[in-house]
Amino acid sequence: MTRELIDLHMHSYYSDDGEYSPAQLVQKCKECSISTMSITDHNCVRAISEGCRAAEEAGIRFLPGIEIDCTFQGINLHVLGYGIDYTSHDFYLLEKNADEQHLRASLQMLLSTQELGFHITENDMAKLAENKYWKDRWTGEMFAEILLSRPEYMDHPLLLPYRSGGERGDNPYVNFYWDYYAQGKVCYAEVTYPSLEQTIETIHGNGGIAILAHPGINLRGRYELLCPILEKGLDGIEVFSSYHDAPDIEYFLGKSREFHLLTTCGSDFHGKTKPTTRVGQSNCTIDFREITASLNKYFPQIN
């Protein structure tokens, strides 16, 4: 019997921090013997048509997906939407809202990075972004890529933890983002996202299910908020994630079963921004067939 392998969380170059095309992601899944996949770009559904066609040719079950930024009690969360009608105008408006704010946010992050003492310019960022789909969106990972490549900053104390062998050197780009550009950090630039309630309504209104993404990273130190969040109508939790260690998994799996929610898994693969994260790497400790069986109750067409 062929073993089920699932990865329901990965990003194409239609995410501002993704590297590969949708077709390339499908090929990577095929090479890893992934049987069911979803591409879940940030606030964007542009990858789905191409991904769906490529997956069909590769014999891989494909679930339309998206990862939506939203807020709950002032905290930024990510919610995955699966099985959505991605042709809906709602997702165009979602992308438009995010895109219109990112130019301002990018410039603000640049200024904050300069205030840390780094000499970095708009031209530097534009050059790095020239081959990206979103040319005016600059991310914390992109700032890290430039700074860590500069010889003059080889021994800079702020960057040493992200060097090879440093305590944050396993995924230096994304770790630099979480440490300096995430909500509440010194280089954070606020972007107004829809509420958790609005996000769940949008996903449900377009035929999808709403899954709380990698809560172990977004709720770190604030796990007491998980129950109030789940009570807003979420359908499941991404229990198994490259971000979650064994205690995280045990806790979120327990909550998923306590609330009778769907349990999902995903690597959150991006490419070079998370070099140690591979397609299919979700730290899943249960039989993937259990996840597939649950998904089939919502989306029998993925069989």
Q: What is the mean pLDDT of residues 94-102?
A: 93
Categorize the per-residue pLDDT at 300 as very low, low, confident or very high, splitting at 50, 70 and 90: confident
Name the CA radius of gyration of the chain, rounded. 19
- State percent of the chain over pLDDT 90: 91
C-alpha–C-alpha distance, residues 285 and 277, integer Å:
17
Task: Tell me the DSSP string of 244-287.
Answer: --HHHHHHHHHHHHHTT-EEEEE--B-STTSTT--TT-----S-
Q: What is the mean pLDDT of residues 79-85?
A: 97
User: So what's the pLDDT on residue 1?
Assistant: 35
Q: Is the pLDDT of residue 157 over 80?
A: yes
pLDDT, tens digit (0-9, with 9 covering 90-100), for 234-280:
999 999 999 999 999 999 999 999 999 999 999 999 999 999 999 99
**Amino acid of residue 86:** Y
**Whole-number average pLDDT of the chain:** 95
C-alpha–C-alpha distance, residues 278 and 32, integer Å:
9
Q: Is the pLDDT of residue 301 over 90?
A: no
Distance of CA 14 to the CA centre of its chain: 12
Q: What is the mean pLDDT of residues 169-196?
A: 96
pTM (global) more than 0.75? yes
Categorize the per-residue pLDDT at 302 as very low, low, confident or very high, splitting at 50, 70 and 90: low
User: So what's the pLDDT on residue 3?
Assistant: 63
Q: Is the pLDDT of residue 169 over 60?
A: yes
